[in-house]
Chains A and B, each alone.
Chain A
Amino acid sequence: MQTYTIATLRQQFIAGTTTPSAVVAQYLDTIEAKDQAIGAFLEVFADEARAAAEAATRAYETHGADTPPLLGIPYALKNNILYQGRRTTAGSRMLEHYEASYDATVVARLKSAGAICVGVTNMDEFAMGSSTENSAFGATKNPINSEYVPGGSSGGSAAAVAMEAVPVALGTDTGGSIRQPASYCGVVGFKPTYGAVSRYGLVAMGSSLDQAGPIAHSVADVAAIHKVIAGIDPSDATTITDETYPDVPQKEQYTVGVPRALFSTGVDADVLEGFEAHLEDLRAAGHMVVDIELPLFAQGLAAYYIVMPAEVSSNLARYDGIRYGLSVPGDTLLAGYEETRAAGFGKEVKRRILLGTYVLSSGYYDAYYGKAEALRVQMRAELADVFTKVDVIATPTAPTPAFKFGEKSDPLAMYAQDIFTVPVNLTGVPALSIPGGVVTRDSAELPYGVQYIAPHGGDERLFDLGHRMYDERSQ
């Protein structure tokens, strides 16, 4: 299966050198051949995709370039993003049979642009996890090596791209769930500025943290998808416009800040070596690389594992067996709630709901949640100050490459994977993960990613630097 980019597909569709029907057929063949072993997809929309591809092929014949910008481009959709009429399970028994009653805004925008949803992908239950091991419907294997996890919670989406089942997939990122699996699977993943992309139609996890974003083989492809899905949405009052934040211009030469103190412990030695090599590449490309201090960044993990469970406990209160989803009867209304939620939620979800309930409860609210929210404000101020001195911040995306199934059974060990990604969600800035290289483990060559972080509204700056440091170098 050839690695197509959106640009080459669009070019070839317009020129007629290939057709959406041919391309979708190839991708469906790949899924047929490989997905039994990998398990990236929860459901494949083969018939719908073929029909849509046929219609797109005819449209190109008649109208050529005068067609929507993503016409005929196949994509995979993380299964916590509502696609009307299709089961949107969020990887949970609670929503195993729930059929979405409307399209998420991102789905509606991709539909208008002519993109074809090929299927929905596996994920950690309710987006809680860093390995996709928490899915109620089985694990997804890393396409690079089946003993290793693809990362999470958007593991299915990252795997779908890495295995060449689709050129692009949508994921969601609350604490790193697009960037970390992209890092583990050797592909590009992007979390937009908070508010840049509408959350309407996303199964809510942490409403002040969640963003939907693209995973693809190139920064150019990620930018192309972002352009279509981003933008103010009356259905999501937290969405922003181009005017919300001051301009973040692109530059010939960027100053890249590296918070070196954060890497002194806990980062895999090979990943660190590869990251340092990338910094050399930045210098060789004419950019400045400087050390910066981000003392509050390191506290982000503690704050995240207070704020996120708090928001989770609130967002998942809606699953009560009354209006949709699993419904287990009880003698009383209350018994029905308690039985439904006991049966519908997996272990990690229950853990986080209880944690959130604890930190929001009377007597603990200020000490935990209050402090964590105060830290978020301080972190934003710290970042704003650092961004007066540097244009972009660089870190490894994750402290390690992919790990083996079952290796991180201790919750805290799993949570530690998020150390470089959660401060981004806590503060709302955009971040991009590009492949940095591979490390050798036993006989496996495991990818690791490099993360770039920009100021609020700096999404385009990340696309610029990412394109120059990844796309242009991997041709």
Chain B
Amino acid sequence: MMLHIMKEHEIAHLASLARIKLESDEVAELQNDIAAIIGYVGTIASLTADVKSTKHVGARYNVFRDDVVTNEPGAYTERLLKAAPETEKGYVVVKKILDTTDS
């Protein structure tokens, strides 16, 4: 098992990619945990395998259906909107992402 070190900024980078805010004590603990686990799973590097040839799992075939609408319009709307934290006039409300103050 190779000794692997995870730096604080690496954990911070991963947390940013994963959209999770971490407290500093969490970062420290994760540094240890992730380093230990990567150290263990890193043994996979010694495997001689052609990585390029393998991008599937199991029986490989496509499953299609006709491109037609099968539900009644609005059949699930109320039920699905009920689960959303904030809705307005049948829409899910989200924070603004486009700055439209200057045109």
Contact = CB atoms under 8 A, between A and B. Distances in A.
B20 A341 contact: yes
Interface string A370-391: 1111111110000000000000
A376 B50 CA distance: 12
Nearest to A84: B79
Given A323-B84, A341-B18, A411 B37 contact: yes
B47 interface: yes
A368 interface: yes
A366 B30 contact: no
Contact of B41 (A195, A302, A353): A302
A341 B49 contact: no
A441 interface: no
B83 A323 contact: yes
Contacts of A376: 54, 57
Interface in B37-72: 37-38, 40-45, 47, 49-51, 53-55, 57-59, 63, 65
Contacts of B33: 351, 411
A361 B17 contact: yes
B83 A371 contact: no
A175 to B, nearest CB: 13
Nearest to B50: A374
Contacts of B63: 237
A345 to B, nearest CB: 7
A341 B94 contact: no
Interface in B1-55: 11, 14-15, 17-22, 26, 29-30, 33-34, 36-38, 40-45, 47, 49-51, 53-55
Main secondary structure of the interface of A (DSSP, over half): helix
Contacts of B76: 101
B67 to A, nearest CB: 14
B6 to A, nearest CB: 8
Contacts of B96: 333
B90 interface: no
Contacts of B89: none
B44 A299 contact: yes
A183 to B, nearest CB: 23
B54 to A, nearest CB: 4
A302 B19 contact: no
B11 to A, nearest CB: 7
Interface string A171-202: 00000000000000000000000110000000
A395 to B, nearest CB: 21
A357 interface: yes
Contacts of B26: 347, 350
A99 interface: yes
A434 to B, nearest CB: 26
Contacts of B57: 194, 208, 373, 376, 428
A347 B20 CA distance: 12
Contacts, number: 150
A330 B76 CA distance: 29
A412 interface: yes
A341 B92 contact: no
B73 interface: no
A306 B41 CA distance: 7
Interface in A84-119: 98-99, 101-102
Nearest to B40: A412
B83 to A, nearest CB: 4
Interface in A339-370: 339, 341-342, 345, 347, 350-351, 353-355, 357-359, 361, 366-368, 370
Nearest to B55: A373
Contacts of B54: 370, 373-374, 376-377
Contacts of B34: 351, 354-355, 358
A122 interface: no
B37 A428 contact: no
A302 B40 contact: yes
Nearest to A345: B20
Nearest to B86: A327
Contacts of A336: 95
B94 A354 contact: no
Q: Which 5 residue pairs are nearest across A and B when measured between Cβ atoms?
A: A374-B49, A327-B85, A370-B51, A237-B63, A338-B21
Given A338-B19, A376-B57, A378-B49, 20 more contacts: A101-B82, A102-B79, A208-B57, A299-B47, A302-B40, A303-B41, A303-B44, A323-B83, A324-B84, A333-B96, A351-B30, A353-B20, A354-B34, A355-B38, A358-B34, A358-B38, A361-B14, A367-B45, A368-B44, A376-B54
Interface of B: 11, 14-15, 17-22, 26, 29-30, 33-34, 36-38, 40-45, 47, 49-51, 53-55, 57-59, 63, 65, 76, 79-80, 82-86, 92, 94-97
21 contacts: A98-B83, A101-B80, A102-B79, A194-B57, A234-B65, A313-B18, A322-B84, A323-B84, A324-B83, A325-B83, A336-B95, A338-B19, A341-B20, A345-B20, A354-B14, A370-B51, A373-B51, A374-B47, A374-B53, A377-B49, A377-B53
